[in-house]
């Protein structure tokens, strides 16, 4: 029974989100999308923060002796700086980055749902006011008839 209720909540949530997300202004949707991209970028940065410095060097020396034995000496090196003692911390840093991305996405979904819920409340309040005003108009008509 609980599973059926959860499925119903998920389906109704998706339905309401698609129904009312069209009512949000494009500018608000752009702001939400920019915030979503910012959260993803922060998560990516946190996830890649464990990586140490990388040095890339290249040099090319050429020696001309004036004979057929000219020599060239290309040299390429790549150096990666990584602490041996941070190996356990690397796993948790990557995991933290994934959690930051997930949390950012969930918080933005919550914010979007709150906006949609507020919009839904406003629509219901307007309908309630319309009903109240029509009721008042009907009472006034009855009083005029008497």
Q: What is the pLDDT of residues 78-137, one digit of tens each?
A: 777 766 666 677 788 888 888 888 888 888 888 888 888 888 888 888 888 888 888 888
Q: Looking at the domain assignment, is residue 92 inside a domain?
A: yes
Residue scoring higher pLDDT (7 or 75) = 75
In a domain, 23, yes or no: yes
Is 120 inside a domain boundary? Answer: yes
With contact defined as beta carbons under 8 Å apart, do 98 and 106 qualify? no
CA distances from 127 to 15, 17, 89, 120, 140 (A): 21, 20, 56, 11, 20
Q: Which residue has the tokens 């979007």?
A: 112
78 is a domain residue = no
Q: Kindly report the average pLDDT of the chain as a whole number.
A: 77
Residue 23 — very low, low, confident or very high, per pLDDT cuts 50/70/90? low
Q: State the pTM of this model.
A: 0.54
Asked if the structure places residue 124 within a domain, the reply is yes
Domain membership of residue 114 as a residue range: 16-51+86-145
**Average pLDDT of the residues in 47-76:** 72
The tokens for 52 are 């140490």
Q: Residue 105's closest CA among 33, 49, 47? A: 33
**Structural contact between residues 113 and 52, judged by C-beta atoms closer than 8 angstroms:** no
Number of domains in the chain: 1
Query: What is the pLDDT at residue 144?
Result: 82
Whether residue 4 has pLDDT greater than 70? no
Helix residue spans in 22-86 (DSSP H): 26-48
């Amino acid at each position: 029974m609980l599973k059926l209720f959860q499925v119903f909540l998920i389906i109704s949530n998706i339905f309401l989100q698609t129904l009312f997300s069209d009512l949000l202004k494009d500018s608000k949707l752009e702001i939400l999308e920019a915030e979503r991209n910012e959260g993803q970028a922060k998560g990516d940065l946190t996830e890649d923060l464990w990586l140490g410095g990388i040095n890339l060097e290249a040099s090319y020396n050429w020696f001309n002796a004036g004979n057929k034995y000219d020599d060239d000496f290309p040299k390429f090196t790549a150096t990666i700086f990584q602490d041996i003692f941070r190996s356990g911390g690397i796993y948790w840093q990557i995991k933290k980055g994934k959690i930051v991305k997930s949390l950012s996405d969930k918080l933005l979904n919550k914010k979007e749902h709150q906006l949609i819920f507020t919009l839904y409340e406003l629509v219901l309040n307007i309908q309630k006011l319309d009903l109240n005003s029509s009721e008042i108009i009907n009472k006034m008509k009855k009083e005029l008839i008497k």
